[in-house]
Amino acid sequence: MAGGGFAVADAPSGDYGGGITFSVVVTCLMAASGGLIFGYDIGISGGVTAMESFLEEFFPGVLRRMAAARRDQYCVYDSHVLTAFTSSLYLAGLVASLAAGRVTRAVGRQAVMLAGGAFFFAGAAVNAAAVNIAMLIVGRMLLGFGIGFTNQQAAPVYLAETAPAKWRGAFTTGFQLFLGIGNLAANLTNYGAARIPRWGWRLSLGLAAVPAAVIFVGALLIPDTPSSLIVRGRVEQARAALRRVRGPKADVDAELEDVARAVGVARSNEQGAFRRILGREYRPHLVMAVAVPLFQQLTGVIVIAFFSPVLFQTAGFGSNAALMGAVILGAVNLGSALVSVATVDRYGRRPLFLAGGLVMIMCQVAVAWIMGSQIGRDGESAMARKYSVAVLALTCVFSASFGWSWGPLTWVIPGEIFPVEVRSAGQGISVAVNLGATFVLTQTFLSMLCSFKYATFIYYAAWVAVMTAFVVAFLPETKGVPLEAMGAVWARHWYWGRFVKVQQPAKNTDALIN
C-alpha cells in the first residue's frame, strides 16, 4: 500500500466517507497561497527589466542599444548581467531545495512554509533598497531560498497529503491558481509602477513582501499534514489534524491506519531517502521527478512569462503597451488555471497534458512564422501592428493551454506519485530540476533569441512534441487514486510494472497509531 515503489497487498480503497469540509478548503487555500510568491516573482522580473528607470540605474548599456538606430530587435536585451538578475534566484533555489527534504522530515511542512515566507520577505526588502547590482543579486538569492527551500517543497506536497483523493487534483492545482494570481498582481503592479519616474521599480520589487506575508500568516493558521506528523511520532496530533480536515462523518481511524501502514513500510526498509530513490524499484518515480519539471521548462513558457514585456517589445509594442500585454497574458494564465481546477478530476491528467501539448505546438510554430516573415532573419524590419497583435493573441492561447496542462500538472504529478518513504527526497529532486532548468533557460534565453532569432520558438515546439509523446507512452493516469494505493498504478503499467514489486504491509502498524 505504500505508494509507488512497492504495490502493497491489501491497498486501501480510498473511500473513507469524508467529503469537502470548510476546514479542508481553508487549509488547502492557505497552503496553495505559497504559489503567490513564485507567481509574483515570475511576473515582476520581466516587467522590471523593461522599465527604463531600472535599466538606467543598473543596465545603461541596454538603454544605449535600445536607442541605436536599426538595431537587431532580437538582440537588444542580450546581456548576461541582466539575465543574471533574473536567474540568480533559481540557482539559490536549486541549492536550497536539495537540503529541503531533510529539513522537512525533521520539522514538518508547516514550519518549512513559515521559513519560506520569512526568506521571501527579507529578499523583497533587500531588492527594494538595492543601490548596486550586488544587492540585487543578494536579494534575489534570498527570494530563491524562500521559493526553493520551502514553498515549492512544502506547499504542493502539503496539498496532496491533505486533500481528499477524489478531489486531490483540483486542490493541488490551487497552487497554480495562486501562482496565476501572483503573476497577474505583479503585471498590474509593473504597469502602474512604470509610470512613477526613477523609483517605480523599487515599488514593484518591494511589494513582493505582500505575498510573503500572506504565506507566512497562512502557514500559522493551518495544521501539519497527518503523514508528516506520524513520521515524527505525533500520532494524536495526526488524528486531530485528519479529523479537522475530513469532518465528523469520515472514518478517520481507517485512513490514519492506512497512512501509518505506509509509514511502516518506509521504516521497515530504513535508509537514506535520496539513496533509496536511486534503487530499481523507484525507477518510475525518479524518472518522473526529473522528466516532468524538466519538460515543463522546455515548453518555453517560463521565459515567455519572465520576458513577455521584452518579447512584446521585440514584436513591435512600445514599453507601456508591452507591459499591458503582460497584464493580459497574466489574466489568461489565471483563467486557464481555473479551467484546470474544474477539469483535472473530471477528465484526468493525461487528457489535459495531450490537449495542452497539441495547442502549444501549433501556437509556437505560428509565432515563429510571423516573426520570421515580419522581422526577418536580421531583426531590423518593423512588424506591422496587426502581426504584433497576432503574436500577442497566439502567446495568450499558448499560455492558456499551458495553464490547463503542464502548468498545474507539474505540481500535481510529483506531489502525488511518491511513496511516503521517498516523498520529501522525490519532491526535492523535482524542485531542484525545475529550478535548475529555470536558471539555465532564463540565463540563456535572451542570447538564444539573439542567435536563433524566430527559430527559438521552433526549438521549443519540438520539445513540446517530445514531451507529449512521453506522456502518451510513460505517464499512467492517477485520477482519484489514494496516495497510499499509488503503487498499484505503476505495477499495472506496461513498462513501469517491471520495476515495481509487491510488498506486504508492515507488521507493526498498530504500534505506529497506538
| Last-in-domain residue among 205, 222, 239 | 222
Q: Given this model, what pLDDT does residue 298 score?
A: 92
Residue 440 half-sphere exposure toward CB, CA atoms < 13 A: 9
Looking at the structure, do residues 369 and 482 belong to the same domain, yes or no?
yes
How many angstroms separate the Cα of 278 from the Cα of each of 274, 281, 287, 425, 472? 7, 8, 10, 10, 24
CB 241 within 8 A of CB 225: yes
Considering the domain boundaries, does residue 6 fall inside one?
Answer: no
pLDDT in tens, 70-112: 455 667 666 777 778 878 888 888 888 777 767 777 777 777 8
Rounded to two decimals, the pTM is 0.73
Q: What is the arithmetic mean of pLDDT over 506-510?
A: 49
Q: Across the strands, what pairs with 217?
A: none
Q: Does 228 fall in a domain?
A: no
Structure confidence by residue, pLDDT tens digits, 222-240:
777 777 788 778 888 888 8
Task: With respect to residue 480, please indicate whether it lies within any of the assigned structural domains.
Answer: yes
Same domain for 171 and 298? no
Residues 210 and 77 in one domain: yes
* 349 and 487 together in one domain: yes
State whether 204 and 308 are in the same domain: no
Q: 10 Å Cβ neighbour count for 129?
A: 12
Strand blocks (E) in 361-426: none
- In eight-state DSSP terms, residue 378 is S
**In a domain? residue 184:** yes
- Using CA atoms, how far residue 188 sits from 153, 204, 328, 334, in Å, is 28, 10, 9, 13
11 — pLDDT class (breaks 50, 70, 90): very low
Q: Are 213 and 330 part of one and the same domain?
A: no
| Res 476: pLDDT | 94
Q: How confident is the model at residue 3 (pLDDT cuts 50, 70, 90)?
A: very low
Domain that holds residue 183: 21-222
Which residues are registered as beta bridge partners of 503? 8
Instruction: List Cβ neighbours of 435 (8 Å cut-off, separation of 6 or more).
Output: 90, 91, 93, 94, 97, 144, 147, 148, 152
What is the rounded average pLDDT for all residues in the chain? 80
Give the least confident one: 120-129, 251-260, 435-444.
Answer: 251-260
Q: List, for residues 26-72, the tens digit of each pLDDT value.
A: 777 777 777 888 888 888 887 788 788 898 888 887 777 666 644 55
Are residues 488 and 351 part of one domain?
A: yes
Chain center to CA of 237: 29
What mean pLDDT is predicted for residues 306-333?
A: 69
- Give me the number of domains the chain comprises: 2
Task: Indicate the residue among 190, 222, 254 that finishes a domain.
Answer: 222
Q: What is the pLDDT of residues 150-173, one digit of tens each?
A: 655 556 667 777 777 777 777 778
* Single residue among 179, 199, 222 that ends a domain in this structure: 222
Q: What is the pLDDT of residue 313?
A: 64
**CATH number, domain containing residue 67:** 1.20.1250.20
For residues 333 and 415, state if they share a domain. yes
Question: Same domain for 374 and 463?
Answer: yes
Banded pLDDT at 267 (limits 50, 70, 90): low
| Domain identity same for 165 and 295 | no
pLDDT of residue 15: 53
**8-state DSSP, 506:** P
Is residue 157 in a domain? yes
Nearest of 470, 340, 478 to residue 405 by alpha carbon? 340
Assigned domain for 514 exists: no
What is the pLDDT at residue 316?
56
> What are the beta bridge partners of residue 7?
502
In a domain, 229, yes or no: no
**Residues 37 and 151 occupy one common structural domain:** yes
Please, where are the H alpha helices in 208-251?
209-220, 226-231, 235-246
The pLDDT-based confidence of 2 (bands split at 50, 70, 90) is: very low
**356 and 490 within one domain:** yes
Q: 70-74, 101-105, 249-253, 434-438: lowest mean pLDDT where?
A: 70-74
pLDDT higher than threshold 90 for residue 284? yes
Predicted local confidence at residue 36, as pLDDT: 84
* 507 located within any domain: no
